[in-house]
Protein backbone atom coordinates (compact mmCIF):
# COMPACT_ATOMS: atom_id res chain seq x y z
CA UNK A 1 0.00 0.00 0.00
CA UNK A 2 1.45 3.36 -1.01
CA UNK A 3 0.02 5.43 1.78
CA UNK A 4 3.14 7.59 2.08
CA UNK A 5 2.62 9.09 -1.37
CA UNK A 6 0.56 12.27 -1.45
CA UNK A 7 -0.99 13.71 -4.58
CA UNK A 8 -3.47 16.45 -5.32
CA UNK A 9 -6.55 15.48 -7.31
CA UNK A 10 -6.11 16.73 -10.86
CA UNK A 11 -9.68 16.61 -12.21
CA UNK A 12 -12.99 16.13 -10.50
CA UNK A 13 -15.63 15.91 -13.19
CA UNK A 14 -19.17 17.00 -12.54
CA UNK A 15 -20.90 16.98 -15.89
CA UNK A 16 -22.78 14.44 -17.97
CA UNK A 17 -23.98 15.28 -21.45
CA UNK A 18 -26.62 14.16 -23.89
CA UNK A 19 -27.74 10.55 -24.17
CA UNK A 20 -26.64 8.14 -26.90
CA UNK A 21 -27.29 4.41 -26.93
CA UNK A 22 -25.16 1.51 -28.18
CA UNK A 23 -26.85 1.26 -31.58
CA UNK A 24 -26.35 4.97 -32.21
CA UNK A 25 -22.70 4.70 -31.16
CA UNK A 26 -22.13 1.80 -33.55
CA UNK A 27 -23.91 3.60 -36.40
CA UNK A 28 -21.86 6.74 -35.70
CA UNK A 29 -18.56 4.90 -36.03
CA UNK A 30 -19.73 2.85 -39.03
CA UNK A 31 -20.88 6.04 -40.76
CA UNK A 32 -17.46 7.60 -40.21
CA UNK A 33 -15.83 4.52 -41.73
CA UNK A 34 -18.20 4.58 -44.73
CA UNK A 35 -17.51 8.26 -45.36
CA UNK A 36 -13.77 7.63 -45.23
CA UNK A 37 -14.15 4.77 -47.73
CA UNK A 38 -16.22 6.98 -50.08
CA UNK A 39 -13.60 9.73 -49.92
CA UNK A 40 -10.85 7.25 -50.78
CA UNK A 41 -12.87 5.91 -53.72
CA UNK A 42 -13.43 9.44 -55.02
CA UNK A 43 -9.75 10.25 -54.58
CA UNK A 44 -8.75 7.18 -56.61
CA UNK A 45 -11.31 8.01 -59.30
CA UNK A 46 -10.16 11.60 -59.56
CA UNK A 47 -6.57 10.50 -60.19
CA UNK A 48 -7.70 9.82 -63.77
CA UNK A 49 -8.65 13.47 -64.32
CA UNK A 50 -5.85 15.24 -66.22
CA UNK A 51 -6.71 18.78 -65.16
CA UNK A 52 -4.71 19.53 -62.01
CA UNK A 53 -6.60 20.56 -58.89
CA UNK A 54 -5.24 23.84 -57.45
CA UNK A 55 -3.32 23.25 -54.22
CA UNK A 56 -4.69 26.39 -52.64
CA UNK A 57 -8.24 25.13 -53.16
CA UNK A 58 -7.37 21.77 -51.57
CA UNK A 59 -6.02 23.44 -48.41
CA UNK A 60 -8.98 25.81 -48.23
CA UNK A 61 -11.45 22.90 -48.33
CA UNK A 62 -9.37 20.91 -45.81
CA UNK A 63 -9.35 23.81 -43.36
CA UNK A 64 -13.10 24.33 -43.79
CA UNK A 65 -13.81 20.65 -43.14
CA UNK A 66 -11.55 20.62 -40.09
CA UNK A 67 -13.30 23.71 -38.69
CA UNK A 68 -16.73 22.11 -39.14
CA UNK A 69 -15.67 18.86 -37.47
CA UNK A 70 -14.21 20.70 -34.48
CA UNK A 71 -17.30 22.87 -34.18
CA UNK A 72 -19.79 20.01 -34.38
CA UNK A 73 -18.04 17.31 -32.34
CA UNK A 74 -15.96 18.91 -29.55
CA UNK A 75 -14.40 16.41 -27.15
CA UNK A 76 -16.38 13.54 -28.71
CA UNK A 77 -14.88 11.75 -31.69
CA UNK A 78 -11.16 11.85 -30.88
CA UNK A 79 -9.22 8.66 -31.61
CA UNK A 80 -9.28 7.62 -27.91
CA UNK A 81 -13.02 8.31 -27.83
CA UNK A 82 -13.64 6.03 -30.81
CA UNK A 83 -11.52 3.36 -29.13
CA UNK A 84 -13.56 3.33 -25.94
CA UNK A 85 -16.84 3.52 -27.87
CA UNK A 86 -15.91 0.42 -29.84
CA UNK A 87 -14.81 -1.35 -26.65
CA UNK A 88 -18.12 -0.45 -25.01
CA UNK A 89 -20.08 -1.75 -27.98
CA UNK A 90 -18.20 -5.05 -27.86
CA UNK A 91 -18.62 -5.48 -24.09
CA UNK A 92 -22.30 -4.55 -24.29
CA UNK A 93 -23.07 -7.70 -26.28
CA UNK A 94 -22.96 -9.55 -22.94
CA UNK A 95 -26.33 -10.02 -21.22
CA UNK A 96 -24.58 -9.68 -17.85
CA UNK A 97 -23.21 -6.28 -18.84
CA UNK A 98 -26.65 -5.24 -20.08
CA UNK A 99 -28.09 -6.06 -16.65
CA UNK A 100 -25.40 -3.92 -15.01
CA UNK A 101 -26.21 -1.02 -17.35
CA UNK A 102 -29.89 -1.19 -16.39
CA UNK A 103 -28.94 -0.16 -12.83
CA UNK A 104 -26.68 2.78 -13.79
CA UNK A 105 -28.58 6.08 -13.79
CA UNK A 106 -28.41 9.66 -14.93
CA UNK A 107 -28.71 12.15 -12.07
CA UNK A 108 -29.95 15.60 -13.06
CA UNK A 109 -29.87 18.65 -10.80
CA UNK A 110 -30.94 22.20 -11.51
CA UNK A 111 -27.51 23.15 -12.84
CA UNK A 112 -25.79 19.95 -13.93
CA UNK A 113 -26.03 16.23 -14.63
CA UNK A 114 -24.10 13.26 -13.24
CA UNK A 115 -23.95 9.49 -12.72
CA UNK A 116 -25.04 7.05 -10.02
CA UNK A 117 -26.22 3.47 -9.58
CA UNK A 118 -29.06 1.72 -7.78
CA UNK A 119 -28.28 -0.71 -4.94
CA UNK A 120 -31.77 -2.07 -4.16
CA UNK A 121 -35.15 -2.64 -5.83
CA UNK A 122 -36.67 0.41 -4.09
CA UNK A 123 -34.22 2.78 -5.75
CA UNK A 124 -31.53 3.51 -3.21
CA UNK A 125 -28.80 5.26 -5.21
CA UNK A 126 -25.10 5.83 -4.59
CA UNK A 127 -23.28 8.69 -6.31
CA UNK A 128 -20.60 11.29 -5.57
CA UNK A 129 -21.29 14.09 -3.15
CA UNK A 130 -19.99 16.61 -5.69
CA UNK A 131 -22.66 15.47 -8.20
CA UNK A 132 -25.58 16.46 -5.90
CA UNK A 133 -23.90 19.12 -3.77
CA UNK A 134 -26.40 21.38 -1.92
CA UNK A 135 -29.41 19.72 -3.59
CA UNK A 136 -32.35 18.32 -1.59
CA UNK A 137 -34.05 16.57 -4.53
CA UNK A 138 -32.84 15.50 -7.96
CA UNK A 139 -34.17 13.75 -11.06
CA UNK A 140 -32.95 10.20 -11.68
CA UNK A 141 -33.26 8.40 -15.03
CA UNK A 142 -32.98 4.65 -15.59
CA UNK A 143 -32.38 3.67 -19.19
CA UNK A 144 -35.37 1.26 -19.27
CA UNK A 145 -37.50 2.35 -16.31
CA UNK A 146 -37.81 6.08 -16.96
CA UNK A 147 -37.62 9.17 -14.76
CA UNK A 148 -38.04 9.44 -10.99
CA UNK A 149 -37.68 12.09 -8.32
CA UNK A 150 -35.19 11.24 -5.59
CA UNK A 151 -34.32 12.78 -2.24
CA UNK A 152 -30.73 13.30 -1.15
CA UNK A 153 -30.83 11.44 2.16
CA UNK A 154 -27.15 11.27 3.15
CA UNK A 155 -23.93 13.03 2.12
CA UNK A 156 -20.39 12.21 3.15
CA UNK A 157 -18.21 14.99 1.72
CA UNK A 158 -15.09 13.68 3.46
CA UNK A 159 -15.16 10.68 1.09
CA UNK A 160 -17.18 12.32 -1.74
CA UNK A 161 -20.17 9.98 -1.43
CA UNK A 162 -23.91 10.64 -1.36
CA UNK A 163 -26.99 8.45 -0.96
CA UNK A 164 -30.29 9.15 -2.73
CA UNK A 165 -33.69 7.55 -2.28
CA UNK A 166 -36.16 7.43 -5.14
CA UNK A 167 -39.65 8.56 -4.18
CA UNK A 168 -42.14 5.73 -4.71
CA UNK A 169 -39.70 3.42 -6.45
CA UNK A 170 -40.12 -0.36 -6.62
CA UNK A 171 -39.01 -3.35 -8.67
CA UNK A 172 -36.03 -1.40 -10.04
CA UNK A 173 -32.78 -2.96 -11.31
CA UNK A 174 -29.83 -2.76 -8.94
CA UNK A 175 -26.22 -3.79 -8.42
CA UNK A 176 -24.87 -5.91 -5.57
CA UNK A 177 -22.24 -4.42 -3.25
CA UNK A 178 -19.13 -6.26 -2.09
CA UNK A 179 -18.51 -6.15 1.65
CA UNK A 180 -14.95 -4.95 1.10
CA UNK A 181 -12.82 -3.67 -1.77
CA UNK A 182 -10.64 -6.77 -1.88
CA UNK A 183 -8.47 -7.19 -4.97
CA UNK A 184 -5.33 -8.76 -6.38
CA UNK A 185 -2.55 -6.84 -8.08
CA UNK A 186 -3.56 -5.80 -11.62
CA UNK A 187 -7.02 -7.31 -11.15
CA UNK A 188 -9.37 -6.53 -14.04
CA UNK A 189 -12.57 -4.66 -13.28
CA UNK A 190 -15.50 -3.25 -15.27
CA UNK A 191 -16.97 0.23 -14.89
CA UNK A 192 -20.01 1.91 -16.43
CA UNK A 193 -20.55 5.65 -16.69
CA UNK A 194 -21.21 8.68 -18.82
CA UNK A 195 -17.92 10.02 -20.21
CA UNK A 196 -17.68 12.99 -22.57
CA UNK A 197 -20.98 13.31 -24.48
CA UNK A 198 -22.14 9.72 -24.05
CA UNK A 199 -24.26 7.69 -21.65
CA UNK A 200 -23.92 4.13 -20.39
CA UNK A 201 -20.38 3.51 -21.66
CA UNK A 202 -18.85 0.23 -20.47
CA UNK A 203 -15.11 -0.22 -20.17
CA UNK A 204 -12.45 -2.23 -18.42
CA UNK A 205 -9.39 -1.38 -16.37
CA UNK A 206 -6.84 -2.76 -13.92
CA UNK A 207 -6.50 -1.83 -10.25
CA UNK A 208 -3.06 -0.43 -9.40
CA UNK A 209 -2.92 0.23 -5.65
CA UNK A 210 -4.00 2.50 -2.82
CA UNK A 211 -2.83 6.12 -2.70
CA UNK A 212 -3.10 8.76 0.02
CA UNK A 213 -4.42 12.12 -1.22
CA UNK A 214 -3.86 15.48 0.38
CA UNK A 215 -6.73 16.56 2.65
CA UNK A 216 -8.12 12.99 2.75
CA UNK A 217 -8.02 10.98 5.97
CA UNK A 218 -8.38 7.64 4.19
CA UNK A 219 -6.56 6.33 1.09
CA UNK A 220 -8.34 5.71 -2.20
CA UNK A 221 -7.64 3.31 -5.05
CA UNK A 222 -6.01 3.98 -8.41
CA UNK A 223 -7.13 2.30 -11.61
CA UNK A 224 -5.43 2.13 -14.99
CA UNK A 225 -8.37 2.72 -17.31
CA UNK A 226 -9.83 5.14 -19.90
CA UNK A 227 -11.70 7.37 -17.45
CA UNK A 228 -12.89 10.73 -18.75
CA UNK A 229 -14.89 13.73 -17.70
CA UNK A 230 -18.36 12.43 -16.81
CA UNK A 231 -17.29 9.12 -15.25
CA UNK A 232 -17.82 10.45 -11.71
CA UNK A 233 -20.25 8.19 -9.87
CA UNK A 234 -19.49 5.15 -12.03
CA UNK A 235 -19.57 1.79 -10.21
CA UNK A 236 -16.38 -0.28 -10.25
CA UNK A 237 -17.50 -3.92 -10.66
CA UNK A 238 -15.30 -6.94 -10.01
CA UNK A 239 -15.38 -10.28 -11.85
CA UNK A 240 -17.86 -11.63 -9.29
CA UNK A 241 -20.34 -8.95 -10.35
CA UNK A 242 -20.05 -6.91 -7.13
CA UNK A 243 -19.42 -3.19 -6.79
CA UNK A 244 -16.13 -2.57 -4.99
CA UNK A 245 -15.93 1.19 -5.44
CA UNK A 246 -17.13 4.47 -6.96
CA UNK A 247 -15.17 6.57 -9.47
CA UNK A 248 -14.74 10.19 -8.41
CA UNK A 249 -11.72 11.75 -10.16
CA UNK A 250 -8.59 11.38 -12.26
CA UNK A 251 -5.00 12.09 -11.27
CA UNK A 252 -1.73 12.83 -13.05
CA UNK A 253 0.62 10.38 -11.34
CA UNK A 254 4.40 10.68 -11.67
CA UNK A 255 4.86 6.92 -12.21
CA UNK A 256 1.64 5.72 -13.85
CA UNK A 257 0.59 8.78 -15.83
CA UNK A 258 -3.11 9.70 -15.89
CA UNK A 259 -5.05 7.28 -13.70
CA UNK A 260 -8.60 7.04 -12.39
CA UNK A 261 -9.40 7.27 -8.69
CA UNK A 262 -12.19 5.40 -6.94
CA UNK A 263 -13.56 5.29 -3.41
CA UNK A 264 -13.49 1.80 -1.85
CA UNK A 265 -16.98 0.51 -1.08
CA UNK A 266 -15.82 -0.06 2.52
CA UNK A 267 -16.18 3.68 3.13
CA UNK A 268 -19.88 3.50 2.29
CA UNK A 269 -20.45 0.48 4.57
CA UNK A 270 -18.55 2.14 7.44
CA UNK A 271 -21.01 5.04 7.41
CA UNK A 272 -24.25 3.04 7.45
**Class at the top of the CATH hierarchy for domain 2-17+176-269:** mainly beta
Helices 22-46 and 79-91 sit at what angle, rounded to 10 degrees? Answer: 130
Query: What are 86-135's pLDDT values in tens digits?
Result: 888 899 999 999 999 999 998 888 877 789 999 999 999 999 999 998 89
Q: Report percent pLDDT > 90 for the chain.
A: 55
Nearest Cα neighbor of 12 from 257, 227, 241 is 227
CATH number belonging to domain 103-166:
2.40.10.10
Where in the sequence numbering do the catalytic residues fall? Answer: 130, 160, 232
The pLDDT value recorded for residue 65 is: 59
Residue ranges, CATH 2.40.10.10, the chain: 2-17+176-269, 103-166
Could you read off the pLDDT of 49-81 as tens digits, one per residue?
555 556 655 566 666 655 554 454 444 445 566
How many Cα atoms are found within 13 Å in the side-chain-facing hemisphere of 249?
19
Q: Which tens digit of pLDDT belongs to each residue from 137-187? A: 999 999 999 999 999 999 999 999 999 999 988 899 999 999 999 999 899
Please state, in angstroms and as integers, the Cα–Cα distance from residue 35 to each residue in 29, 40, 189, 271, following that order: 10, 9, 35, 53
For the whole prediction, is pTM greater than 0.95?
Answer: no
Amino acid sequence: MKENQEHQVDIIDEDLYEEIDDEEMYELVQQARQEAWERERERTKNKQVKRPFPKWMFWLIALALMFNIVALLPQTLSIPAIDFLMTSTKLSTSQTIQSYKDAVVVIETEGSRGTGFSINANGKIITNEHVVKEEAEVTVAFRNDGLFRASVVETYPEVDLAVLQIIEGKDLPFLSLAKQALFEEREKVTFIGNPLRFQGIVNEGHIIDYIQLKEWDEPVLMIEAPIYRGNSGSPIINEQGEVIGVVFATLDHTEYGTVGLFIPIDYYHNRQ
